[in-house]
Amino acid sequence: MHKLYKPEMTDAGLGFSKSAIAVDELGNSRQIELVGERALTLYVDKQEIVTLMTMGTHPELLTLGYLKNQGFFEKIDEITVVQVDWETEAVAVVTNDQQSDFSKQMQQRTVTTGCGQGTVFGRLMDKLNNIAVPKLSIKQTTIYALLDSLKLHNEVYKKAGAVHGCALCTGSRIDFFVEDVGRHNAVDAIAGYMWLNGLSGEKNIFYTTGRLTSEMVIKVAQMGIPVLLSRSGATQMGLDMAKQSGVTLVSRAKGKHFMVLNGAENIQFNVDWNQSM
C-alpha cells in the first residue's frame, strides 16, 4: 500500500494572487488581486505533449493527472521521474521505456472543454508580438446598456447552467451571441462568424462570461477587437497580454460595477453619480 502523499506548495510565488491597479466605475484607482497564471510545457521522454496553462501550485500532480486522464499511462510505476523547471516553463517526464511512441495518443487527443486546462502553444504567443489592436473609445453608459442587453441572452444558462456565453457587440448592440460548454469554444465560434462574414473587429466589443486568461486575450487580439469585457476576473498573464496587444480589459462587469485593468484612458466616465443616486 502506497504511503499517502501530501503535497506542499512548490513555490510560494506561484498560484497566489498578484496585485494590480485598476480603475472602477467611479473613475477611482484601486488595488486589486489577480490570479497568477503560467505556461507549462509537458515533455515525456523528450517528446512534446502539450502546453498547459496553470496557476502552478502543484505542477507535478497536474502532470501526472493529465497523463493518467488522457490515457498515456495506466500504472504510476511506468513513470520514474517528473522534473519541473520554471525557468524554461517545462516539465520533463522520464519513463521506464524511454523508446515509447505516443503518436497514437496525440492523434486521438481531443481538446476538452475543461476550464482549467486550455492549451496554448509557443507559436500562438509568438504571433501576439505582431498584433496591436486599434484604440476604441467607449462610454461608461454604453457598458451599462450592453450589460442590460445581455440579460436577454444566456438562454441555455438560464435553463440548464453549465455553459459559457460570448458576444460580439457594436456599442450596446449584440451582433452575435454564442453559448457553449467551454468559453474557448464560444470565442472560436465568433471568430468563425467574423471570418466567414469578412468582419474586421476594430469597432467591436467582445463580451465573455468566462475568466480573462491569457488564451482569451490572445484570441480576442487576433480577432482585432479592441475591447474585452467580462463578468469574471482576470489572471496576471491575461493582463500582461492585454498590455502587450493594447486590448482594453474590463473585468467584473455586472450591474453598475466594473474594473478597468488596462486601457482606462479609452473609457469615458460619463455618469454623474450625484444625480443618479
More confident residue, 265 or 48: 265
pLDDT attached to residue 12: 41
More confident residue, 207 or 131: 207
The pLDDT > 70 percentage for the chain reads 78
192-214 tens-digit pLDDT: 888 888 889 999 999 998 889 88
Calculate the dihedral angle through the C-alpha atoms of 193, 195, 201, 206, rounding to the nearest 10 degrees: 40
210-237 tens-digit pLDDT: 889 888 898 899 889 999 999 999 998 8
* Whole-angstrom distance, CA of residue 102 vs CA of residue 116: 23
The dihedral sign for the CA sequence 17, 22, 24, 26? positive
Report the range of poorest mean pLDDT among 4-18, 23-37, 76-90, 168-182: 4-18
DSSP-assigned letter for residue 49: E
Q: Look over the chain and give the mean of its residue pLDDT values, rounded to a whole number.
A: 81
pLDDT attached to residue 101: 66
Q: Which domains does the chain have, with CATH numbers?
A: 38-110 (3.10.20.10), 131-276 (3.40.140.10)
141-190 tens-digit pLDDT: 999 999 999 888 766 445 545 467 889 999 999 998 887 766 777 788 88
The pLDDT > 90 percentage for the chain reads 40
pLDDT attached to residue 212: 92
* Whole-angstrom distance, CA of residue 68 vs CA of residue 125: 27
Residue 56 phi, psi dihedral angles, 5° rounding: 85, 15
CB neighbours (10 Å) of residue 115? Answer: 14
Q: Long-range contacts for 58-65 (Cβ within 8 Å, ≥24 apart)?
A: 58/7, 58/9, 58/10, 59/10, 59/84, 59/91, 60/7, 60/10, 60/84, 60/91, 61/7, 63/91, 63/93
233-265 tens-digit pLDDT: 999 889 999 999 999 999 999 999 999 999 999
Task: Look at strands 205-208 and 164-170 and give their pairing.
Answer: antiparallel
